Chain A
């Protein structure tokens, strides 16, 4: 990303998400998991494990990581990188919080959306 001013898109309030939990935002064919940590930090990651596409939003959140519910790959919320001996990286989106609202970078969504395979979106 360069320094071009991005548009911030409001996706909901932090209280919509349980602590150490996640909820999803749908953007066309893209599914983005918004995580809330125990310290109320918020991260947005594509809801697809780099291993076998598991829904990361359904995993257990611990520290700054989530464990995929399908085969236990551990993904760092901030970087999307697989931890430990595993390799792989999930797409991450920049987020921002203001007055209890969560915003996700529109530019990041647009560029992820552009990388999607030919869309199956309705």
Chain B
């Protein structure tokens, strides 16, 4: 009979605990999780990169939905537990779900501390704790107005840097005289402040907030000295408090946190706790490494290994702000019995300080150059006597024992039990073992196998160094990402060289750019073909054998080898005659499935390849042309009914959509392009998640771009506002041409725009009229060769060989 394990909370600590538990005792428990957040387990440390735009939510998911299914875990998302009944051994959620337990784990984490100044509950005052907070901040950041971050600690500064990155004016208010005073000494705090200020973030130290201003929503904050700072967003990041309410209501022993023994048991032997809500030996924890250690200990106990004990250890801190290297660990207060070694390099912005006691390191602060952090930390943890190397100690591991070494050698010099990844407690030996025994060659593989650098990612450099030391020349982290194994060149290099060297065929290109394979591969050939089609319209002969089958036969291959066909319906409009022709075609060819698509088209699925030309011939007679539903090219322009019918319509959105589609159909692009035109801001054609979208307003046309609603979900960016339909068309066409010329093959507009910068797109398309007109002219020229209906070409006999078997042979004849 399996025991019932119920977990309250679905953060990183219980997630890690379950990973350990399933590893050693996969069948010991029926597991049920109640998560107050409506989502799966994600890497909370990585919220800052999500805020700054370096990562998306999907990038930071630790356990996707599939993981819970695979391990038979019942996960209640968005269910907050209201009460624990210890006598009956049940928990009850706010939705009234009651579940019995044999063992219960409380992992309620912590709550952000909100300073109880007047106005703290106004809309626009946020904490920085979970994805909801990040999403609220991103929404607020769209205004590009002013933000105030209260709290100059680790989280506050990451929030400030992220909001600045998103275009807000940011002021940080910090109560203490220097930033991150718990992790940094004043000198390093000063360097950090200087760096943040040079990025345009205002910093006010010794700032005491008196009240938050505003009636219906936040307008600013007033300090005790009377200073008023305007802000439409206030983020409070002043600390966390263990979330103990539930445990307290259940009568468990609590103090600052839920009081636990070193075996993670609470005062009730069937109830355990793990994570930020826990207090052990009078200490509570907020960094991930000790929480993961708790997870390991608890998993041991739940799987019947009672020898594990949680032992306090110092955890090093790193700041996750791009371009700022900062590392600190241990105790760095001054004292009579302490000595220090300091190294400063003002020009390079480097500051290093080691705090020593009895010839042993007890504290480390590194700013600007943190590669030796792990080495110092290792010496500190082991209490190594450093008198022998005292003179050169501060220069790091590379300088010990003679000549200076390169950074790779520094990693190579670390002992095998040196901890590389603090978050996941992975030491050097584990990583080296995995690299050599499993033949790992990429960072992603090492992350997958060892978890090193898979949480906060700040030890990525060390892991890469370790890979370099272990693999030698076989590892090159700085190499540009080549298109594929056939070349060392990146997409950018190839596009540049095609123009610079006037390469006009695939064989010429492969020769000139020294392709390593004779005929390329299925990855590079379609990319090269597109680049040549785009750059040399009218000169380059499209190489069909380098196109994916869908573009070669102008239909979409399905899992059983049949095809689907989507005729073009301009702007999503159709007529009775067209519908009749489709219906006849479906009957005549016995087409099994007819489906309406998301782009306002009709899809006919399950057509045999041999029938394609005949299907197209019938559709062609009704006036249909190819809908290019298979193409890395212009697919659909979705429209609403606009001023024709809608009582809210401000412009002729249908007419404009049809006009765009007739102008742009047939063009090839790096990846598919889907557009929409909405007749008013109600946005019924959902233009704000398209590659390019238009929202009509009374005063003209608001042009949007870089939306996504597939693998990623992303609202569009505003390109700008124009007054007339002609101007709108010119801007849209120029934008798409810019993308055609710069995009990497298979890179959607939103990824391209993120790579080169939204402002750069606006500058070239909105602000630089001559650049815009040049793009427009190049698109128009290219269309002269592109706007040929591929279906009618094939109906008239082009590529006949594609659609007929070469021979049918009698198998009896073969057997003779």
Contacts and interface: CB of A to CB of B under 8 A. Distances in A.
Of A24, A34, A62, A65, chain B has the most CB atoms within 10 Å of the CB of A62
Contacts of A74: 521-522
Interface string B655-688: 0000000000000000000000000000000000
A27 B522 CA distance: 29
B525 A60 contact: yes
B801 A23 contact: yes
A23 B545 contact: no
Contacts of B517: 62-63
Contact of B806 (A25, A54, A58, A63): A25
A23 B47 CA distance: 52
Nearest to A39: B518
A18 interface: yes
B561 A27 contact: no
A77 to B, nearest CB: 12
Contacts of A60: 522, 525-526, 545-549
Interface string B140-158: 0000000000000000000
Majority-rule SS of A interface residues = mixed
B575 interface: no
Interface stretch (B55-63, B593-601, B765-773, B808-816): B808-816
B557 interface: yes
Interface in A94-122: 106-107, 109-110, 113
Contacts, number: 110
B806 A62 contact: no
Contacts of B544: 18
B557 A58 contact: yes
B807 A21 contact: no
A19 B801 CA distance: 12
B520 interface: yes
Nearest to B524: A62
B811 A30 contact: yes
B519 interface: yes
A73 to B, nearest CB: 10
Contacts of B116: none
B801 A16 contact: yes
A69 B801 contact: no
Given A26-B808, A70-B557, A20 B814 contact: no
A69 B806 contact: no
B402 interface: no
A25 B808 contact: yes
A67 B521 contact: yes
A74 B520 CA distance: 13
Interface string B780-816: 0000000000000000000001001111111101111
B2 interface: no
Given A11-B806, A27-B814, A17 B559 contact: no
A67 to B, nearest CB: 3
Contacts of B518: 38, 63
Interface core residue of A11, A30, A60 (most chain B CB under 10 Å): A60
A24 B814 contact: no
Interface in A40-83: 52-55, 58-63, 65, 67, 69-70, 72, 74
Nearest to A31: B805
B249 to A, nearest CB: 53
A20 B544 CA distance: 10
B807 A110 contact: no
A62 B520 contact: yes
Contact of A110 (B519, B549, B815): B815
A69 B561 CA distance: 9
A107 B518 CA distance: 33
B519 A62 contact: yes
Nearest to B543: A20
Nearest to B799: A18
Nearest to A37: B519
B814 A54 contact: no
Contacts of B561: 53-55, 58
Nearest to A69: B549
Interface string B544-577: 1111111011000101110000000000000000
A30 B811 CA distance: 9
Given A25-B805, A60-B525, A67-B522, A106 B545 contact: no
A52 B561 CA distance: 11
B546 A25 contact: no
Nearest to A55: B561
A28 interface: yes
A34 B814 CA distance: 16
Contacts of B807: 11-12, 25-26
Nearest to A38: B519
A23 to B, nearest CB: 4
6 contacts: A21-B545, A26-B808, A27-B808, A58-B557, A60-B525, A63-B519
Given A17-B806, A63-B518, 17 more contacts: A18-B545, A19-B545, A21-B545, A23-B806, A25-B808, A26-B807, A54-B561, A55-B561, A60-B525, A60-B526, A61-B519, A63-B520, A67-B521, A69-B549, A70-B557, A70-B559, A113-B815
A-B complex: 10 closest residue pairs judged by Cβ atoms = A67-B522, A106-B814, A20-B545, A23-B806, A110-B815, A109-B814, A58-B549, A28-B811, A60-B522, A55-B561
